[in-house]
A and B are shown apart, each in its own frame.
Chain A
């Protein structure tokens, strides 16, 4: 280096390279101590290095000036930590009981005015304690108003001698709710009962104007009171006092330690500003907790969020929809074995249990748009209660399928009651005979109702799952079994159940479906009360479809031909069922080379489509296109041309119409 000093000759002589080095090291030391809040004197250094006394006296004031100017309280690193045994304010630190992203928690002893044990949380360095305390003071009034058995009270706040903010809370000797539930192997129902208490606690706080903002298992501890688990929500008011720190600074400051937080962070908290938070953010937090209680996992994958870049992580929270809890359970692989064991059940039972209402409740709480969440924590609690009481929950749009399922549930209870009476009789208990017969009659009605509901629900589930639903199969089989038990082998309800099961199995087990539908048809032919009723036609149609897929064209053709007059009789000639059957029939005829008959069917089909659905409907255009192909095959090119011009026109219209916007000319 050609670094030469430009100052006077004499000082240059004294400044050996060693002198520079030593002075630079002294500056390191001085700077370090200064930034830790110490105020070392120049004379300390002079005494230590008398050989450099003159330069120390000369240079240290400039050094101090630089330090003073550059010092910023907010980012001062490395403040001395408080230790067990020392006293913070009125509290003596007894034992460290936890350490999280935000700070260290001690069990402490309050010395005055009363002697009691408390939890004392010292916030990590890196934030302005003045601000934290000011925010806490702003909320203190509200915090003291909170009085709920499931909320740990925040008692006090202050600043340690080293300038770090601390909070004093009611001491809760508990463990995180998720850990407790697993350790105690609570069933899903028991977990939900605990969860409801948590919701009520949060609701109480909301009514007092306090939002938690950082709900997560670590902040919901379970303690045992007389062997009864009692959840306690801790840290109310602290997230607010430490403010944006949660969403912005601390998120990466304490990178790994803070991992808990993004997992439970609501989409609005993951916004860049992250400050527009209301009670519904807590509803989201409760939703995450519910999800975890149900599935043992958080909605977003811990590992994925951890590995995602900061912005990506925020994007995931704001935009991605987590899978339904039951989907998560079904797709988690082997872990479901242990997760279901911890809930006293089996994998299949667990995902079946969670599927449906519990899915809906959790997903409604986790809606990205908070306007679509439960408005209050109580609303969420009530829905969970409804679930536990087998009442319809709010979380789902009240579709028919949903109501039916509830109906089934309720009737099953009646069924069980009926069975209990029968059992009592058998056991020799005297029951008034009227009561018995009435009970048995009601039980039969109820069970028939169950079977019917099962059937309807199976069909809907099947349609929803596009013909591939184990749940639909289970329901349909159950319905068939009940009907056979109630009515014997020959009964219209049994026919119906056979038919429904055949439809449900059409995709997954076509051979069995064919056999079932054949049974159903055979029974319908024998027991049909009203020969014009289209029940048989439905069965014929399904069997024909199944046979076509098996390649049995001839029998399928016959079945469609048999169904056709039934449709016409029941629904009239211009009906979509008639058109559909004609459409199928024409295709089958064409395959067999019967072009003339196929053309007739298609023309009739097209006519119905035009009249029923209109010229521009996709089914009409499809029929026209089929007819065009056919006309070309039989050499009627001119008519084909004309039809194709018509369709082109209609297709352009159909395409243009919705997308064309008014031109501003």
Chain B
């Protein structure tokens, strides 16, 4: 039990003294997961709207694939992305293996189904008359989409939090395509696993605490935005 308590104190200490390694690892965590979430929003929100509103043959197959994608094991994604990015793989010439870019790709793949699924469910709950009214008033596809986003903002923000939560906490894919290289691809989750395997449980706990602070801070802000009462 003292590990948890010590870990907490150590985390605060590390952050207050600005331990360079912890700061670097935390900054990289934010960059990688933030960018991956951003990409997943760009892909997932429009896709979610499309799937929610448009009917086409095979729609239910696609929807069930998306829903399955929400439970994709990150380590499997990491393995498959590795197979593509490995030197001798089809995209080996890009030299992306063991770089933050590879981690962003893998994390975006993990987050996009999550975002799509939650957004789609949210958009489907909207009153269908809204769409018809907006379109009848002459809205373009883009304007239509923006209206949907605003109306479904609870679900959209839930989608953001789901996507971010999925990738900021995952370790399997980051380990595989990133390699946990110090100063280059080490993020909070992979650093924690490494410290655990070394037996440094207190350091691992401290890193975990930093990650939890970070995740809570971001999610708190997003929740504030989500729960803001609609005026009128």
Answer yes or no: are A and B bound together in one complex. Answer: no
